[in-house]
Structure formats: C-alpha cells, structure tokens
Amino acid sequence: MGCELTKLASSSNGSNSKSNNVPSLDACGPPPVDSRLPLTAKQKYTMVASWKGISRAMETTGITMFIKLFEEHADLLNMFAKFKELKTKEEQATSEELQEHANKVMNTLDEGIRGLDDLDTFFEFIHQVGASHRRIPGFKQEYFWRIEEPFLSAVSTTLGDRYTQNVEGIYKLTIKFIIETLVAGYEASANNNVDSTTTTSSSTAKGGLSPRTHHNNLNQRNSLLRPAMINPVEALARASGASAPAIRLILSVLLAYPLGLFYRQLKGGPTVRNLFIACTGVSIVLFNYGTDLYHSMLAVAVSFLCNTFLRNSSLMVPVSFTYHMGYLLIGYYYTTSDTYDIKWTMPHCVLVLRLIGLAFDLSDSRKKEAAGKSDDKCIPTPSLLELIAFTYFPASVLVGPQFSFLRYRRFVDGAYEPHTQEAPAYATKKFLQGVFYLVVNQVGTQYVSDAYLMSDEFAAESLFMKHIYLGCWGRITLYKYISIWLLAEGAAVIFGLTYIDAKPGDREYSSDELSGCSNIKVGVFENTSKYGHYVESFNVQTNMWVANYVYKRLRFLNNRMLSHLGALFFLAIWHGFHSGYYVTFLMEFMVIRMEKEVEPIFAKNDKLQKLLQQQPLLRALVFVGLKYYTIVWAGWCLVPFVFLSFHKWWHIYTTVRFTGFILFLGGNAFLAPLLRAVLPRSSSSSSSSSAPKTTVTPANSSTDTSAGPATKKDN
C-alpha cells in the first residue's frame, strides 16, 4: 500500500520522468521514526500492539506494580498519606485509595505510550508530569527509577506467555525512555525550563537545533548519570540492568572481604570480636532491607528465650522449629510473587536453618550431659551477644553458607587462627572463581535467557535443539548460584571461619583444610557424570544441614526412601509454596532412585567393563552421552525451580513434549528390569563383594545420594 501511495504522489508532481514513477526501496519500508525515540519502527509497533493487553487490565497491572514497589522499597510508603499504613500485601491489594492512585499512574503511562507517534506532545506531557513531582514533600528524582523493575514485573505478570524476550527488551527501552523524560522534566522545572526537547520553528527551518535545545537534549541524555551522585546503588542498577536489591546484595557480599581483613587485625577477646561481627552483620541487613530487619531481630529474641528457658526441656526443639518455620512460611504467604524477589525472606530462610540447627545441637548436648557422655562437641547456651553475632555473621548472613555454633565458637575463641595464616590467598582464589562464574552467567543470559524459553522463537526450534538450549540455559542459571556462593565463601575464608578440624589443633595446617564452609565443589560439579554428583557438589552446606537435622532425625520411619522423601519435602517447603519447588525436588527423587537402580547393572557387567577398557572410542562415546544426560536433563529438572508458577513451567514442558517425564518415570518403571535382561550380572561380579574398579560412570563418592542429601559432618 505504501508503494502505491508513492506512485500517486509521484504522478501528482507532474513529472514525466520514468524514474519518478518507480518507487524507491525506502518508500516501501516502514515509516521513519523520530530519531529521539530509542525504538525502531518495528519495535514501536510491537510495543503499541502489546500495550493493548495491558490497557485491558490497567487496574490489576497497576496494583501489582505498586505492591512490588512497596515490597522492594518499603520506605516509599511513608510518602503516601492515604495508604502509608498499608503494610501487608493483602491490605494493599484491597485498598481503594491505592487502586485509585495505581489507575492514575497507569493512565499516565498509557497516555505516554499512546503518544509515541507525536514526540513533541509526548515530551510536553511527560515533562509536566515530572515537574509536578516538585510539589511532593521529600520527593527525590532518583525515586522515579524505583518504578522501573516493579513496572516490568507487573507487565510480565499481566502478559504471561506473551512477555517474550523480544517484548521484554522493548519494554525495558520504553520505560527507561519514559523515566529519563520524567527526570528531565523534574530537573528542568527547577529553572522553569520544562520544554527541553522540542525545537523552535527557526531551528526546524534551518534543519538543526538551537543551542538551548541542544543543551537540553544533552541534559536529558545525561540524566541517567546524575543520580549516581545521590544514590550510587540506583545508578549501578540502571547501568548494569540489574535491580537495586541485587546490586545491594552483591555489594554486601563484597563488603565482607574488607570486613574480614579488618577482623584479622582486631585486637581483643571473644567479646570484642562478637561485638564487631554483630554490629557489621546487622548493618548489612539494615542496608539491604531497612526496617524489615525487625523480622530477623524477632527471630533472634525468640531463639534466645527458647534456648535460655527451655534448655532442659524436650519442648525446646519443637517450639523453635515450629516458630521459625511457621514465621518463614507466613512471610512467604504475604510476600511471594510469580518471580524471584530479593526481600527479607531470602536471608530469613538462611537464618531459620541456623537457629533451628542451634536448637538441635543444644538439645543433643543436654542429652549427652545428662547421660554423662559429655565431649568436646557439646556446646553451652550462647549469650545474647554471641547469638546475634552467630546469626548475623557478615560473610553469610544474606546467602549462607550454613555452619554450626560449635564451629563459630571455636572460630571466635581463636582455635583456628594458627591454621588460617594463608587464608587470604585461598580467599582470593575463591573470589576470582566467583567473578569468573558471574561473568559467564551474565554473558550467557544474553544468549539463552529465561524469557527465551517462553518465546515463540524457542517453540519454533526442533525438539533436539530445544533440549540443547535447555541444557545450556540450565548450566548458565546454576552459574548464578555458584558465583554468589564462591564470593560468600571467599569472604568467610578471609575471616578465618572455614578451617576443617576433626578435633581442634590435632593436625597441621594444609591449604586443603580451608573448605569447611564450601557450598560448591567446583571440580565435582564441572565433571558430573550422574545426578548424584550434583547432590554431592551443589549447595553442599544446606544439603549437609538437611541430612543432619532432617534426614537422620527421620530414622524412626525405618525406611530410607521415606526419609529421603521427607528431607526433599522439607527442602521444597523451606523454599516456598510455588508448585515449581515441589516438582523439582520430586524429580530429584526420581532421578536419584533411577540411578541407584541402573548404575550397578552397568558397573557389575564384566564384559561391558572389559570392552570399555579396550575401546577408547567407546569410552569417548560414553563420556559424551553422560555429559548430554547430566547437562541437558539438569536443565529440564531446573525449569520448575526457576519459573515457579505452574502455567510457566507447564508451558515449557509442553513445548518440549514432556520428554523428561517420559525418561524419568519410564526409567524408574522399566529401565532397570530391561537392562538386567540385556546386561546380566557377571558370575565373577556375583561372587565378588566389591564392584569392578573401572565402570561406565566415575567411581562412587562417599556420599550415598540415594539416601538423601550429602551426609558429611560440618564441625
């Protein structure tokens, strides 16, 4: 149609030239876009078309956006007199005042987005909105940027499967453009200079910009940088594309390194050390979560009362367990959303395990003392200062790792100091590993992101390539966790907490003995040939905690499978209520059970093992096959854990035709009997008490993965 209009325009000009009757290629393309708009014509069309879905759910989207905003920035509630008392998610969702304000904000965004065709009008309108915020007492220009992540999250929730990677990128560009314009209007209003982008008629006639307009355009482009002088966290978040809570988290983990170096030079006894650790740890939580610090403070207070007054009672563990898990689950109920959020419940879940473990250890110590079997692993009831310091240890208060009070007390008493002189070098190694994995994760997500798995482009891929993408995505996603755990471990090493001691001081220092708080065994993880290696190497300290305090405590069931299921159910509910957690841990159970049945069949067939020894090519094929199995299907198992909500992970599983369910359910039901028929157990293996040394898979580790999480004792 555009080409026909061009022909008509050419003929109406009265030109007889043939060339004028032939439309140019440019004329057939999309209409030109104002150079001030950071979107292409196609992107603008996609944006406007997608926004129609939002405009049909303006109120719901607006409420979701503000609930998310107040979750991440609770301090902003105080700026709204009409609903500053709405502290809970349910109160906010049902507030008529908040609904009215959310509609007003969404209508402003709606008018702005619909006005992208006329940028002069757009700038005038958005500048006026930005300038109007000058009248709000206490408002700061960086507050505009705080709506960015909540807006994107709300749009994602409303659009659902339509929020593809491409659409997400367009919305990010659009909201950034709108916020920059709001900031420009806010700043310009201070000098009564709101019109910062429109050109005068004279400058238009000359085909250029007046000096004033050029200056104001530069002012608008650079508005992103100016808030850095006021709020570095917000500026880093905008520059990196990460959320402000994520930036605060990373900065807090890195801050533990200089704190650890200072601690190593600290003079004084346990009281001074506990005071330093308590003050710095509490400050880190305050920096990240503000007044939500009271949740963890309340947990410490309840633990102190339980440990003090119920120390000799059988009620101590049940009361502590019920309170801490109950409080955490209530927190999940009121704060959970369809995406991963960095809020107070994240460090609180770390704290819950630490304080419940302390109650178990105190109870075990009391039982030993009552039986006259007291040993060096019995612990006294911690003082309030010790408990606060133990809970808020700076290197692990936000993301772990877990460690026992016995370890902490030995550390503070100085028992580890002679063995941690080379800790800075070991910590540097962990820091560099963490940075490496963080970079790989950030680069990798540019190619295979969460949004891509929900996109039409992914659905159009072949089934084989979908699984390859799933495997790559899963690996890159796991690197995010590995990076933060390595960084946190390095900080704990700097402090001197991580020395491995069977008995204090009974063996010489070795660099290998500084991994007592390691949450990731990088070597095992990168060389996985079965899922048991993932259990052995990933989230190690949490797995050991669950093994010691849940799995082993379920021995009264007299059934290892039920104990294993109980431990995995605890892990699922500890993470939250989303269906994705329960599906992920159920699949872990199925996979580990299948491997337990299948692996011995391969290992105990002498003919197969001899063939593998004689055929290097066959060994190479087995290696490639096991890598495909562990990497690709790990991605499959991880999908519900990352996408959380049923409609999201079910959509992806539908796209890949439920192949993982077929493999793992079928494997548990039919694979072992089939393999026993095809690969009967060799007679020499039947008479031997030990398996062959060379097997299809690497030698078994000391961890019995079929029985549950890793069981190595954390001293």
Q: Answer yes or no: are the C-beta atoms of 686 and 600 closer than 8 Å.
A: no
CATH of 41-190, one of 1.10.10.60, 3.30.559.10, 3.30.70.2610, 1.10.490.10: 1.10.490.10
Residue 502 has pLDDT above 60, yes or no: no
Q: Does residue 464 register a pLDDT over 50?
A: yes
Lowest mean pLDDT among 175-184, 215-224, 621-630: 215-224
Q: Within 13 Å and on the Cβ side, how many CA atoms surround 416?
A: 28
Dihedral angle of Cα 681, 686, 689, 694, to the nearest 10 degrees? -30
Amino acid identity at 237: A
pLDDT reading at 310 higher than 60: yes
- CB of 196 within 8 A of CB of 184? yes
Give me the numbers of helices (H) and strands (E) for the chain, helices first please.
34, 0
Q: Name the 3-class secondary structure at 520.
A: strand
For residue 67, give the nearest of 149, 162, 168, 173 by alpha carbon.
149
The overall average pLDDT reported for the chain is 81
- What is the CA 634 to chain-centroid distance, rounded? 17
Question: Is 575 a catalytic site residue?
Answer: yes
Render 376-443 in DSSP notation, one character per residue.
Answer: TT--PPPPHHHHHHHHT-TTTTTT-----HHHHHHHHTTTTGGG-TTHHHHHHHHHHHHHHHHHHHHH
Evaluate if pTM is beyond 0.85: no
Structure token digits, residue 318:
């049940």
Whether 570 contacts 546, CB under 8 Å: yes
- Name the residue among 417, 705, 425 with its Cα closest to residue 551: 705
Domain parsing of the chain, residue ranges: 41-190, 245-415, 521-678
Instruction: Enter the tokens of residue 284.
Output: 């880190």
215 is catalytic: no
Q: Please name the amino acid found at residue 39.
A: L
Evaluate if residue 658 carries a pLDDT over 90: yes
pLDDT, residue 424, reads: 92
Tell me which of 505-514, 595-604, 669-678 is least confident.
Answer: 505-514
What's the whole-number mean pLDDT along residues 188-199?
52
Task: Answer whether residue 224 shows pLDDT above 90.
Answer: no
As a whole number of angstroms, the distance between CA 703 and CA 590 comes to 18
Compute the half-sphere exposure of residue 381: CA atoms within 13 Å on the CB side of its CA: 14
Q: Is the pLDDT of residue 447 over 80?
A: yes
* Closest among 363, 352, 357 to 310, alpha carbons compared: 363
**Cβ atoms 284, 252 nearer than 8 A:** yes
Residues 568-601: b if buried by 16+ CB within 10 A, e if exposed: bbbbbbbbbebbbbbbbbbbbbbbbbbbbbbbbb
| Residue 520 bridge partners (DSSP) | 538
Given the residues 216, 274, 307, 539, select the one marked as catalytic: 539
DSSP, res 548: I
pLDDT over 70 (residue 683): no
- pLDDT for 206 beyond 60: no
**According to the model, what pLDDT value does residue 204 have?**
33
Does the pLDDT at position 116 exceed 90?
no
Residue in 73, 101, 133, 575 annotated catalytic? 575
Contact 65, 147 (CB under 8 A): yes
Tokens for 259, please give them: 């704190």
What single-letter DSSP state applies at residue 500? -
Distance CA 470, CA 453 (A): 8
How does pLDDT run across 537-549, given as a tens digit for each residue?
Answer: 999 999 999 999 9
Judging by beta carbons within 10 Å of its beta carbon (0-12, 13-18, 19+), is residue 85 exposed, middle or buried?
Answer: exposed
More confident residue, 658 or 212: 658
Least confident residue range of 27-36, 83-92, 237-246, 481-490: 27-36
